[in-house]
Structure formats: C-alpha cells, structure tokens
C-alpha cells in the first residue's frame, strides 16, 4: 500500500503521530537522528582540502613549482626552497580568501531557509524547514513552498502548483480522501511534494519523507545541482585576463630573449621569466570579484538585506529605478483604525488605546449612538471579525492579557471589533466558517460564509432575513471599497436595508475620498444572505448582490526613514516608484508626504487601456501606481527595461513572482513575503524597509568601485615592474630584479595590500552621482589610461634610481630597485584608495585593515633588507639610512603623481 491509498487516520497511525498533539520534542530528536535533517545535500560542494588543492595546482603555480624543481636539480637548493615557501604562502592566502567567501555564501544560504508552522508538543510552532521529520503535522497556506513530501490530512480549497516536479503549470486541487488505485505522481491528489508551491487555500499535512528521500531530493541527486554561472563582471574579467595573459607571455618571451642575448645564464632567465609571469598575470582577478561580492553580501546582511543570488550584489550598484510596494515598505504597516462609517453615521476613534478585554462597558465614542445605529455597528463589527484571518487569544507569556496574530490590516480590524463590539472569540465559535474565498491581489476582496444563527449581536439582521433563519447562510465580504460598491445592490442605511441609489453611491465616494486624501487606507464591509445550498459557488457567483454595511478607515504612517531614503535615491540618480494595490487617493497622499513625485498616480485600470507606445511614454513620467494587480507590475518592469533602465522591484505575494523574476533585482519582503516570492527574488528585505534597498544599492556601488580600484592598483603596479625589466637592457643594465624578489613583491602587493582595497569604505559622493551603466567597460572612465601612465612613470622611477646606483658601481643598486619597488606599492595603494578624493582628506585611519597590511608589509620588507638570513635568500644589501630615505623618497613620487592627478581632476570638476 502506498501512502496515498491510506486513510488519513491510518497514515497518522502508521507514523505514530496525532493531529492535535503532534510529535513530542524527544520523538522529534529521535527521528532527526534516524532520518537526518530535511535538506537537499549539494554533492559538488568543495571541501576545504579541494579548495586548497585548487590553489596549489593553478597553472601559474604549477609552472613555478616546475621551475623551482629544475632550479633545485641544477644545484640551487636555496632558491628552490624559497620559491616553494613563497608559493605555499601565496596559495595559503588565496585559499584563506576563497574559504572566507565560501563561508559567507554558505551562511547566507542557511538564512534563506523558509520556516514552517508545525504542530509539536500540543501547540503550533514556527521552525526552520530543515528540522522537519516524518510524522510532523504541518500547516500550509497560499504562498508557502511545501517543505517536505507530505500526505494531506485537511484541505480548505488547497491548490498546488507542481511544475517543478511534473512540468504541469496549472495548479492541482488537493483533497484529504484516500485514493483507490495505483497512480502516477501527478495524479496523487492527496499528496503534496517538497518544492511545489501552494497557490490557493490552506490545509494541514503530515510529513512522510524528508531531505534526499523526497521526490525532489531524488531528482536533485540524479541531475546534481548546477554550479552558479559566473557573473557578468566575472565573465568579462575572465576574458580580459586571458587576453592579458597572452600579451604578458609575449612580453616575457621578449625579455627572456633579450636576457639571453645579453649573455645572462639560461637557468636564471628561465626563472626570471616564470616569476615575472606569476607576478604580472593577474590570475586572481575573477577570484577577487567573488570575494568582493561574497563579503559585500555579508555587509548587506548587516543592513538587513539578504542576498539570495550573488550576481545581485553586482547589479545593485547600477540600479536606476526602484519600484516599491507602499504598504509595509514605504509605510510602517502598523494599521490603526481611525474612522468607522455605517448607517449614515460617522465616528472617529480616539487615538488613545482602548483596552482589549472580554468584558467592557460601551466605549464613550459609541455611547451616544441611537439603538438602530448601535445594532448596525454590531453587525458590521461582527462581520469584520468573522471575515478575518487574524487570531485573538490569551497571551501565553502575559496571563490575563490578550494578543493578536496575523496580517496588520486584519489585526487592526479585529482589534476594533473586539474593542467596540461583542467579544469575537465567543461568536466566532458559534458562527463557524463554512466556506471562504481568500483575499487575493486581483480581486482585492475576501469573503467568508457562515451558517446563520440567532444571537444578540445579529438581532437587527435577523429581523430583515428574507427566509426562515435555519435555511440561511450569511456571507461577509470585505475589501477595496470601489470593488465592493461595484458588487453591491443594497446598502444598510439608517435603520434598514435599502437599494443603493446613485446619490448614496456618490455620497459614499465623497466620504471615501475625503478620508483617503489624509493617506488613510479604506476598506468596505458588506454582507449577503445565501441559501444553505450555496456551497461550491465561485467568487463571481458569490460576490454579487451585496449589502454594503459601511467602511473602515485606518492609518498606516510612512516610515520615518523612508523620506530620507527617497531623497537619497533622487540625489543618486535613481528614480523611486511607488506601486500599490491601495486606492489612488491614499497612494497619492502617502507619496506626497514622502515627496516621491508630484505627478498624479496612474491606476491599474488606466494601465490596461494604454497601448504599448502610450505605456512606454507614461512609465517614463509617472512614479505612482495605484490599484494595480501583479500583472501590471510585470508590465511596468518590462517597459522600464525596454527603456534601458535597471530595475529593482519589490513584491510579497505569489502573483508577484513573475515580476520579481523579470526585474534586474527582484526584492522580496522578509516579514510579509510569501515563500514563493522569496524564492523568485534575488534579495530579501529582512525588515521590509524601503531604505534597506537604498542601503544595498549603496553597498553595490562601493563594491564595484573597489573592484575597479583593485584592478587599477594591481595592473599599474605590475606594469611598472615590467617596464623596468624591459627598459633596463636598453640602457645596458643587466636584469634588475631577481626571480625571488619579483615573487616577494607579488606576495606583498597583490596578496596583502590589494586585499585591503576590497574593504575600502564608500567614497563621499557615492550617492551623489548617477548610476554607471552595467555594461560599461571596466577600464572606462580613466582606469585604463591611469594604469598606462602610472605603470610607465613607476618604471622610469625604478630605472632612474637603479641606473644611478649602477653607474656609481654600487653593490646595492639592485637592492635600490627592489626596495623602491616595494615601497612604491605601499605608497600607491594609499593614493588609489580614493578615486578623486585626496588621501590627505581621507586620512590613513579610514581603512584600518589596509593600514594593518601596510605596517605588516613595511616590516616584512625591512626584515628582508636587514635580517642576515633573508639577505642571503633575497640577495639584498643592507641600505644606510640615507639610502633608505632616498628609496622612500623616489617611491613616494608615484604616490605624489597620482595625488596631483586627482587634484587636477577635482579642480576641473569645480
Ligand atoms: P499594497 O500593494 O500597498 O501592499 P495590498 O495589496 O496589501 O496593498 O492591498 C490592496 C488593497 O486590497 C487594499 O487597499 C485593500 O482595499 C485590500 N485589502 C488588503 N488587505 C485585505 C484583506 N486582508 N482583506 C480584504 N481586503 C484587503
Ligand atoms: Mg501588499
């Protein structure tokens, strides 16, 4: 027998679990030991050893090792050992960086694990999906990803999209009943599988299989998880690196030949050439990008932005438009009901909190109501509490206190119902939900159907019943007032239900617009009598012919930090765009408070009426979109992208997934977002806050800047080295640097100093300039030019100081060049830190890790100069104080030149 052929009770029995108790904690621990964690294991994850091995077997390193062995065989054991030592150091450093990046990415992945509501120890708990074991009872609802393979034990219109397993994109209805025959996976209508998405309804299920034993796990084991493809920047750097390697190889061949012609010995020239190759080829470039991106993602996490896909870090820096939800992102999503309008009455609630207790005397704000107004209010409050998914229960942590759980809009409505009307937990039990049409972003409505039962709070309603009470169901519908009015034929006015006249409609719209202009969100509530046989009707059939009860206005203040973030966006050349399902007047009021745009909003309805050209035109101008549905989001993203914009788009619902995927940066809400939206997103806002996106964009820009600085620094330094070796023979000098010296400089400069640039803090004007195009050349805007001239200038400096020593026949002329070279790199790194900003303004303390590297490098270089053992290995001569100062002076000329250039650039900009 298969699980789907069993009755739910038998399934529970077999798994030794129960619906109301769930598993005990000890049982969970036991089962975790037998079944392992509920996670898919990535088989091709690199172990630290593999990472180290990769470093040691990189092509350049291998060549170097061969060279060292040859050199050792030819008798120079000392050189061979030193080269080995340096190679190992270098590989160690590379490994350490790789490992750090890997750890950072792994940590991010762990955080992205969705949480699940599970029944354990007789209560509902939120746990990480990886802790599930067979026998766990879980609750699932629209927007969830199914966390394991489960048998459905309760389904309220549960509908699941199983494309990831079956390829079928049409959602499937799920039931709890046993199935008779053997059937293929796609027809097991009482099973739900890991990784599939709940698109509608809710239900409960018992976990059958977890981790690699799930259907998804078996596929994953078969095809293996694909390696993430390299990012755009990495691809471009890879390509560039290859071209550069060819160019450098040719140069080195020339140096090699010149050396031989000059009568240098073959072994020495061979080692020199290989060392130069190792030093000059920036084999670490693509790796540096990974490290910068991974560490950047870690920094973004500190700002509450969780990166799901590493390339996002890179794209963030180029974002030109941020399309954001209103509710919760630009506003606080702390809803408080402020006004109630019903039966020709309007009351404004006090701002002070009203206590939340079962027994309460009528609140002063409703004391003056006439009896007929009071009974209309009671019906409306009952409706608001019944057509509501929030829950009101005793707080386990504070006895005698009640707490509310659920969506902020719904908790606000339930609160006002509990404060002013009958106590909801009581009548909620008496009027159970028979059927429901959940809220969805397209309808913007929610309905629930209840059997009618005479009770005090519904007395006024019972008097108006069209048929015997026992044959009737009662439906409540709440949602966007404009939608509700379209579906209403009657209105509860004064003391009775009457047809909804045009004047009445107009009156209501006026009230609505007045409240909405204060930035309030307005919901309507309506009811309808139904015959008891109405089960199974579709939304179109149910939600019509409604009786409008009244409307509720609530305030949701803008986030205090949002206004600054919007302003920051605008100064940074990024257009903030508000997209909301809320009413245009409400949206506009909030947008004005945040100074998003002075143009009036466009509604979803307006959008549908535009043709492509008009849409394109409007999207360029309009920054507020209201009453939109998720499809409109997709259309807006597409249109913006066609105009060459780089778009970040937020979303929280299931239907937002296509827009999130389409956007250059899909941003899901961490708190209110569904698993489906999170899975489709590149980034998750852990605090749902708009300013987090802006902070992440800023971080993205910093990272891009720093990668460019890294390239500029390494390549210009390497260029200087190549120039001096190329030019020396032209003035008749022998090869001015020894192989070991070349490798040493490479270790210090590229290994220790350049890394410091990856933690360089933001330039001061980073959010005061327009975004760069993501397709721009890495060497554009002066980087290529700078590399060329700095390299040449450094080359001349080294040659000058060396030539002078060589002419005077000083034994230490090579040490001059070596020392100047080393110090010039230390100086240069400080100048290149600022793209235009002066070093003297930034100060040496603004990048402390780099300062540490500088001190360490200086110490190491002095050691090599003055420690007798190192002197022997590196063949250096001790320098006198004057000579050392001379080297330092010449080395600082590189730094000064760059500072002078930056000064010039700053003058020009003024
Ligand atoms: P936003 O796009 O700003 O996040 P929502 O999608 O949350 O806005 O809400 C859009 C509209 O849907 C609201 O203006 C309201 O009329 C309606 N609405 C929101 N939440 C509910 C709910 N729980 N029940 C019924 N209607 C709702
Ligand atoms: Mg929303």
pLDDT value at residue 235: 75
If you average pLDDT over residues 277-301, what whole number do you get?
80
Least confident of 93-107, 572-586, 678-692, 725-739: 93-107
If you average pLDDT over residues 291-318, what whole number do you get?
89
Q: How many CB atoms lie within 10 A of CB 504?
A: 18
Q: Is the pLDDT of residue 893 over 70?
A: yes
pLDDT in tens, 502-550: 999 999 999 999 999 999 999 999 999 998 876 666 777 889 999 999 9
If you average pLDDT over residues 5-31, what whole number do you get?
93
pLDDT value at residue 45: 67
pLDDT value at residue 225: 47
pLDDT value at residue 328: 86
pLDDT in tens, 676-710: 899 889 999 999 999 999 999 999 999 999 989 99
| Distance from C-alpha of 168 to C-alpha of 216, rounded to nearest angstrom | 15
Q: Is the pLDDT of residue 892 over 60?
A: yes
| Distance from C-alpha of 543 to C-alpha of 729, rounded to nearest angstrom | 90
Q: Tell me the HSE value of 599 on the side-chain side, using a 13 A CA sphere.
A: 15
pLDDT value at residue 867: 92
The owner of tokens 């209508």 is 189
Least confident of 47-61, 170-184, 305-319: 47-61
pLDDT in tens, 816-830: 999 999 999 999 999
Q: Is the pLDDT of residue 668 over 60?
A: yes
Q: Which residues, at least 6 apart from 831, have a Cβ–Cβ distance to it below 8 Å?
A: 839, 894, 895, 898, 899, 902
Q: Is the pLDDT of residue 227 over 60?
A: no
Contact 444 CB / ligand 1 (< 6 Å): yes
Among residues 98, 149, 209, 325, which one is catalytic? 325
Contact 639, 649 (CB under 8 A): no
Beta strands 472-480; 488-493: pairing state: unpaired
Atom of ligand 1 minimally distant from the CA of 580: 2
Contact 327 CB / ligand 1 (< 6 Å): yes
If you average pLDDT over residues 148-177, what whole number do you get?
89
445 or 442, higher pLDDT: 445
pLDDT value at residue 536: 63
| Distance from C-alpha of 780 to C-alpha of 143, rounded to nearest angstrom | 44
Q: Quick one: three-class SS letters along 508-522?
A: HHHHHHHHHCCCCEE
Q: Where are the beta strands (DSSP E) in 580-646?
A: 602-603, 624-626
Q: Tell me the HSE value of 843 on the side-chain side, using a 13 A CA sphere.
A: 3
Most ligand 1 atoms within 8 A of CB, residue of 142, 323, 327 to mutate: 327
High-pLDDT (> 70) share of the chain, % = 97
Distance 70 CA to ligand 1 centre (A): 74
Q: Quick one: DSSP state of residue 728?
A: G
pLDDT in tens, 333-364: 889 999 999 999 999 998 777 778 888 788 88
Contact 116, 126 (CB under 8 A): yes
Q: What is the DSSP string of 397-464?
A: SSTT-EEEES-HHHHHHHHHHHHHSS-HHHHHHHS---EEE---TTT-EEEEEEE----GGGHHHHTT
Edge-to-edge strands, sheet with 305-307: 305-307, 683-685, 665-669, 647-651, 321-325, 575-579, 624-626, 602-603
**∠431-139-136 over CA atoms, to 5°?**
130
Q: How many CB atoms lie within 10 A of CB 442?
A: 12
Distance 844 CA to ligand 2 centre (A): 47
Contact 580 CB / ligand 1 (< 6 Å): yes
Atom of ligand 1 minimally distant from the CA of 524: 16
| Distance from C-alpha of 414 to C-alpha of 392, rounded to nearest angstrom | 8
State the pLDDT confidence band at 739, using cuts at 50, 70 and 90. confident
Atom of ligand 1 minimally distant from the CA of 331: 3
Whether residue 325 lies in the annotated active site = yes
Classify residue 44 as left (phi > 0), alpha (psi -120 to 50) or beta. alpha
Please, which residues bridge with residue 475 across strands? 449, 528
| Distance from C-alpha of 292 to C-alpha of 314, rounded to nearest angstrom | 10
> Nearest Cα to 211, choosing from 145, 266, 133?
133
Contact 482 CB / ligand 1 (< 6 Å): no
Contact 712 CB / ligand 1 (< 6 Å): no
Contact 906, 839 (CB under 8 A): no
| Distance from C-alpha of 46 to C-alpha of 910, rounded to nearest angstrom | 51
pLDDT in tens, 77-91: 777 888 888 888 878
pLDDT value at residue 756: 86
Q: Which two tokens stand for residue 332?
A: 């606080």
Q: Quick one: DSSP state of residue 201?
A: E
The owner of tokens 């012609």 is 261
Alpha helices in 622-667 (DSSP H): 630-642, 657-662
pLDDT value at residue 809: 82
pLDDT value at residue 222: 58
State the greatest distance between any 2 C-alpha atoms of the chain, in Å, as a whole number: 119
pTM listed for this prediction: 0.85
Distance 112 CA to ligand 1 centre (A): 26
Q: Which two tokens stand for residue 96?
A: 């350490």
pLDDT in tens, 378-414: 999 999 999 998 888 888 778 788 888 888 899 999 9
Average pLDDT of the chain is: 88
Give the residue, by CA position, lying nearest to ligand 1 atom 10. 581
Give the residue, by CA position, lying nearest to ligand 1 atom 25. 479
């Amino acid at each position: 027998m298969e699980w789907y052929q069993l009755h739910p009770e038998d399934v529970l029995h077999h798994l030794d679990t129960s619906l109301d108790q769930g598993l005990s904690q000890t049982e969970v621990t036991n089962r975790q030991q037998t079944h392992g964690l509920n996670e898919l294991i990535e088989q091709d994850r690199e172990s630290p050893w593999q990472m180290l091995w990769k470093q040691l077997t990189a092509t350049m390193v291998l060549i170097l090792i061969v060279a060292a062995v040859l050199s050792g065989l030819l008798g120079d054991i000392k050189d061979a050992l030193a080269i080995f030592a340096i190679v190992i150091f270098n590989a160690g450093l590379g490994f350490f960086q790789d490992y750090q990046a890997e750890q950072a990415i792994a940590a991010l992945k762990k955080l992205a694990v969705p949480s699940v509501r599970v029944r354990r120890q007789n209560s509902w708990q939120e746990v990480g999906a990886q802790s599930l074991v067979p026998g766990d009872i879980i609750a699932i609802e629209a927007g969830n990803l199914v966390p394991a393979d489960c048998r459905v034990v309760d389904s309220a219109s549960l509908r699941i999209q199983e494309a990831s397993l079956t390829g079928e994109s049409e959602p499937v209805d799920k039931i709890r009943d046993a199935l008779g025959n053997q059937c293929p996976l796609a027809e097991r209508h009482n099973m739900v599988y890991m990784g599939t998405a709940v698109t509608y309804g809710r239900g409960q299920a018992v976990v059958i299989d977890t981790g690699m034993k799930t259907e998804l796990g078996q596929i994953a084991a078969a095809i293996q998880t694909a390696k993430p493809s390299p990012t755009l920047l990495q691809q471009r750097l890879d390509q560039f690196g290859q071209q550069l390697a060819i160019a450098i190889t040719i140069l080195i061949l020339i140096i090699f030949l010149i050396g031989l012609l000059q009568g240098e010995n073959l072994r020495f020239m061979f080692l020199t050439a290989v060392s130069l190759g190792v030093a000059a080829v920036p084999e670490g470039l693509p790796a540096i990008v990974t490290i910068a991106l991974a560490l950047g993602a870690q920094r973004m996490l500190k700002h509450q932005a969780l990166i799901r896909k590493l390339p996002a870090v890179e794209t963030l820096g180029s974002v030109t438009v941020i399309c954001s939800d209103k509710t919760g992102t630009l506003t606080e999503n702390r809803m408080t009901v402020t006004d109630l309008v019903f039966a020709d009455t309007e009351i404004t609630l006090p701002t002070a909190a009203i206590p939340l207790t079962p027994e309460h005397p009528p609140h002063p704000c409703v004391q003056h109501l006439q009896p007929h107004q009071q009974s209309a209010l009671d019906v409306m409050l009952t409706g608001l509490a019944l057509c509501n998914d929030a829950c009101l229960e005793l707080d386990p942590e504070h006895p005698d206190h009640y707490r509310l759980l659920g969506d902020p809009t719904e908790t606000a409505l339930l609160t006002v119902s509990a404060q002013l009307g009958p106590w909801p937990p009581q009548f909620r039990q008496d009027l159970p939900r028979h059927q429901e049409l959940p809220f969805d972003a397209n309808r913007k409505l929610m309905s629930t159907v209840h059997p009618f039962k005479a009770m005090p709070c519904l007395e006024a309603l019972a008097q108006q019943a069209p048929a015997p009470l026992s044959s009737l169901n009662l439906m409540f519908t709440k949602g966007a007032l404009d939608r509700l009015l379209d579906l209403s034929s009657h209105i509860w006015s004064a003391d009775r239900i009457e047809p909804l006249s045009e004047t009445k409609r107009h009156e209501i719209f006026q009230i609505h617009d007045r409240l909405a202009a204060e930035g309030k969100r307005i919901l309507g509530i309506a009811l309808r009598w139904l015959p008891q046989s109405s089960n199974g009707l579709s939304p179109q059939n149910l939600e019509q012919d409604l009786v409008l009860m009244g409307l509720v206005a609530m305030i949701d203040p803008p986030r205090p930090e949002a206004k600054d973030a919007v302003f920051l966006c605008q100064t940074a050349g990024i257009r903030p765009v508000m997209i909301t399902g809320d009413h245009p007047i409400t949206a506009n009021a909030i947008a004005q408070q945040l100074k998003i745009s002075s143009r009036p909003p466009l509604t979803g309805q307006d959008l549908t009426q535009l043709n492509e050209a008009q849409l394109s035109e409007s999207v360029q101008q309009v920054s507020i979109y209201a009453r939109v549905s998720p499809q409109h989001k997709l259309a807006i993203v597409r249109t913006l992208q066609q105009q060459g914009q780089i778009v970040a788009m937020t979303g929280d619902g299931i239907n937002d997934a296509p827009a999130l995927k389409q956007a250059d940066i899909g941003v899901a809400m961490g708190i209110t977002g569904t698993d489906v939206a999170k899975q489709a997103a590149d980034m998750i806002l852990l605090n749902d806050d708009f300013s987090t996106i802006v902070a992440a964009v800023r971080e993205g820009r910093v990272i891009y800047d720093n990668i460019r600085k890294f390239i500029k620094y390494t390549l210009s330094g390497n260029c200087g080295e190549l120039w001096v070796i190329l030019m020396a023979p032209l003035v008749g000098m022998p090869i001015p640097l020894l192989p070991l010296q070349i490798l040493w400089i490479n270790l210090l400069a590229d290994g220790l100093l350049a890394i410091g640039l990856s933690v360089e803090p933001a330039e001061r004007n980073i959010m005061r300039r327009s975004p760069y195009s993501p397709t721009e050349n890495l060497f554009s805007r002066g980087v290529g030019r700078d590399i060329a001239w700095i390299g040449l200038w450094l080359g001349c400096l080294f040659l000058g100081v060396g030539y002078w020593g060589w002419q005077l026949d000083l034994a230490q002329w090579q040490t001059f060049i070596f020392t100047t070279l080393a110090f010039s790199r230390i100086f240069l790194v400080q100048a290149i830190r600022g793209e235009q900003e002066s070093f003297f303004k930034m100060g040496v303390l603004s990048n402390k890790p780099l300062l540490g590297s500088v001190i360490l490098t200086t110490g190491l270089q002095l050691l090599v100069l003055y420690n007798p053992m190192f002197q022997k290995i590196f063949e250096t001569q001790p320098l006198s104080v004057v000579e050392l100062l001379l080297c330092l002076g010449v080395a600082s000329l590189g730094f000064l030149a760059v500072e002078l250039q930056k000064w010039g650039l700053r003058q020009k900009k003024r």
